[in-house]
Amino acid sequence: MNKVIHLSSVYSKDDVSHNPKDVSLCVQCGKCKALCPTYIESSSEVLGSRGRAAILKKFNQGDVAFSKRLYESLSSCILCEACSKSCPLQINIADAVYRSRKMLRGFDKKTILLNYILKFALKNPSRTFKIFKLLKIISDIPKVEMLYPFRYFNKLGVTMPDLPFKDKTTVFRASSPKGRIAVFTGCVINCLYPSYGKSLINLLNSLRYDVILPHGEFCCGAPLLELGLEEDAMKLAEMNLYAFKNLNVEYTISLCPTCIHFIKNIYKRYLGNSIDNAIDISQFLIEKSSGFPELAKKIKATLNPYIANTIYHDPCHSKYSLGIFSEPRYILGKIGFNLTNPSEVGCCGLGGAFGFLFEGLSDGILQNRLESFKEADMIITSCPNCVLQLKSKIKDRQVTHIIDVIAGFVGKNNT
Ligand code: SF4
Ligand code: SF4
């Protein structure tokens, strides 16, 4: 049965949990379970937000013995931060889970190997791309394709580009520039979807911004922190803070909400310092760019012939961690898309390493999400990870990033 959730009743922009409350304040009311994807899918208290809050409380007090059950409960949290939206006390269980994961590392053999591979892969962006390529080549070998973890890579249906999005500092100049913007590319755009990165540059140049891609950018650290590798994640954070420090830019835009959440919020929580001017593309277009209304009119004129029933899928870190909900809907409405079910929300089930480590749960969450897309002719989102996960199952309709919709137009008309 499709479990549809409407976010409008719990959504509030003031409610963004940048300053998470301690899980020890939890009164076990259970209100957070309404949006917890792992609870909705499993109906298990242990795999839900309230159960995790109870376990974390005891765990933090040293009152609970380490066990497989405890490990499963805390390691299966998708870290979506939905619970912080529905908790009347604004407790952010994800924050407490991140911190607990440091103690959990090494418990499961599967994650020990994954930790080594990720640490090695993410310390150098060109190495990350080569490892993706190698994984793809191995995953395509008959018989090997069915072995774990190659089976998972195959399931995602990854198509590798010939080159990553960037490999050195590059500045893309606009004519008569009115400002300068940095792009935080992120691993998935860099390795798998360079076309989205190019679309972003086209768009920003057309709005008369020079664009800089700094060479010293590393992974935002999310996959490492997720696996409890806090020290390694924070080393990457420090290198990113350094790379984006003196760029003399008005904003830093990323097409990945997890990257923005990390460079803006998580770095601040852990290091007291962040890339403060980081902003999502929808928010930038509406709040910071005077050129959007004119652009919207042009896009509307071009797109009208093939606009159909469209669903906007909210990435979890976009709506829960960054408080972005109305902005992409406003943009899509302005350029002429007819959004069906505009207040309906749900998780795609990828959640970084979650999809890999909890395949069954992840598949169930995705399947539930797909039920909501039955009537849609096109699915638009704002996260390359969501695109990846949704495309693994949706083959008969277009699934794309919002940048493609907006800047696809710009690209066509600039050539
Ligand atoms: S972060 Fe998401 S998966 Fe984890 S407890 Fe909260 S709602 Fe559930
Ligand atoms: S809603 Fe808040 S107080 Fe209630 S169970 Fe969830 S975390 Fe605890």
- Domain that residue 394 falls in: 289-414
Residue 45 DSSP SS3: coil
Could you tell me which of 134, 106, 413, 403 has the C-alpha nearest to residue 280?
403
Confidence of residue 412 (pLDDT cuts 50, 70, 90): low
The whole-angstrom separation of Cα 68 and Cα 90 is: 28
Q: Mutate which of 3, 79, 225 to test ligand 1's pocket (most atoms within 8 Å of Cβ)?
A: 79
* Confidence check: pLDDT of 342 > 80: no
Share of the chain above pLDDT 70, in %: 92
* Confidence check: pLDDT of 5 > 70: no
Nearest CA to ligand 2 atom 4: 29
* Confidence check: pLDDT of 201 > 70: yes
Ligand 2 atom with the shortest distance to the CA of 90: 2
Cβ proximity of 47 and 77 under 8 Å:
no
The whole-angstrom separation of Cα 321 and Cα 414 is: 35
How much distance in Å is there from the Cα of 411 to the middle of ligand 1?
A: 38
- The CATH number linked to 403 is 3.40.50
27 CB near ligand 2 (under 6 Å) = yes
pLDDT in tens, 93-117: 999 999 899 888 878 877 888 888 8
Higher pLDDT, 112 or 348: 348
Of the ranges 254-268, 269-283, 315-329, 399-413, which one carries the lowest mean pLDDT score? Answer: 399-413
Nearest CA to ligand 2 atom 3: 26
The whole-angstrom separation of Cα 220 and Cα 263 is: 7
Higher pLDDT, 1 or 72: 72
Cβ proximity of 260 and 207 under 8 Å:
no
pLDDT at 114: 84
The whole-angstrom separation of Cα 101 and Cα 95 is: 10
The whole-angstrom separation of Cα 197 and Cα 319 is: 22
26 CB near ligand 2 (under 6 Å) = yes
How much distance in Å is there from the Cα of 87 to the middle of ligand 2?
A: 5
* Confidence check: pLDDT of 3 > 50: no
Q: Mutate which of 21, 58, 83 to test ligand 2's pocket (most atoms within 8 Å of Cβ)?
A: 83
79 CB near ligand 1 (under 6 Å) = yes
84 CB near ligand 1 (under 6 Å) = no
pLDDT at 173: 96
Average pLDDT taken over every residue of the chain: 87
**Total of domains in the chain:** 2
Confidence of residue 415 (pLDDT cuts 50, 70, 90): very low
* Confidence check: pLDDT of 221 > 90: yes
Q: On the CB side of 228, how many CA atoms lie within 13 Å of its CA?
A: 20
Higher pLDDT, 5 or 35: 35
* Confidence check: pLDDT of 304 > 70: no
Q: Which of 104, 138, 156 is the last residue of a domain?
A: 104
Ligand nearest to the CA of 86: 2
Q: What is the mean pLDDT of residues 244-271?
A: 96
Could you tell me which of 138, 13, 79 has the C-alpha nearest to residue 353?
79
28 CB near ligand 2 (under 6 Å) = yes
Higher pLDDT, 407 or 241: 241
pTM: 0.91
Residue 387 located in a structural domain: yes
pLDDT in tens, 8-64: 333 333 333 445 568 989 999 999 999 999 999 999 999 999 999 999 988 888 888
Ligand 1 atom with the shortest distance to the CA of 79: 1
pLDDT at 123: 83
49 CB near ligand 1 (under 6 Å) = yes
Cβ contacts of residue 414 below 8 Å, gap of 6+? 202, 205, 206
pLDDT at 374: 87
Cβ proximity of 227 and 111 under 8 Å:
yes
| Contacts within 8 Å (CB) and 24+ apart, 338-342 | 338/307, 338/308, 338/309, 338/310, 339/310, 339/311, 339/312, 340/309, 340/310, 340/311, 340/375, 340/376, 341/311, 341/372, 341/375, 342/312
Residue 83 located in a structural domain: yes
Cβ proximity of 200 and 403 under 8 Å:
yes
How much distance in Å is there from the Cα of 83 to the middle of ligand 1?
A: 6
pLDDT in tens, 145-161: 777 777 787 888 888 89
pLDDT at 166: 86
- Residues 118/124/126/132 CA torsion (nearest 10 deg): 0
Ligand 1 atom with the shortest distance to the CA of 49: 5
Cβ proximity of 155 and 200 under 8 Å:
no
Residue 145 located in a structural domain: no
Q: Which of 74, 104, 134 is the last residue of a domain?
A: 104
* Confidence check: pLDDT of 382 > 90: yes
Complete DSSP assignment for 190-224: HHT-HHHHHHHHHHHHHTTEEEEE-TT----SHHH
Of the ranges 126-130, 269-273, 302-306, 374-378, which one carries the lowest mean pLDDT score? Answer: 302-306
The whole-angstrom separation of Cα 120 and Cα 64 is: 33
Q: Which of 104, 123, 141 is the last residue of a domain?
A: 104
* Confidence check: pLDDT of 261 > 80: yes
Q: b/e for 51-60, b at 16 or more Cβ within 10 A?
A: bbbbbbbebb
How much distance in Å is there from the Cα of 54 to the middle of ligand 2?
A: 9
Could you tell me which of 267, 224, 140, 220 has the C-alpha nearest to residue 384?
220
Ligand nearest to the CA of 27: 2
Q: Mutate which of 45, 46, 83 to test ligand 1's pocket (most atoms within 8 Å of Cβ)?
A: 83
Nearest CA to ligand 1 atom 4: 77
Residue 21 DSSP SS3: strand
Q: What is the mean pLDDT of residues 291-296?
A: 88
Nearest CA to ligand 2 atom 1: 87
317 CB near ligand 1 (under 6 Å) = no
* Confidence check: pLDDT of 414 > 50: no
pLDDT at 307: 61
Tell me phi and psi for residue 238, to 5 degrees: -65, -40
Q: What is the mean pLDDT of residues 76-91?
A: 92
Ligand 1 atom with the shortest distance to the CA of 92: 6
Ligand 1 atom with the shortest distance to the CA of 82: 7
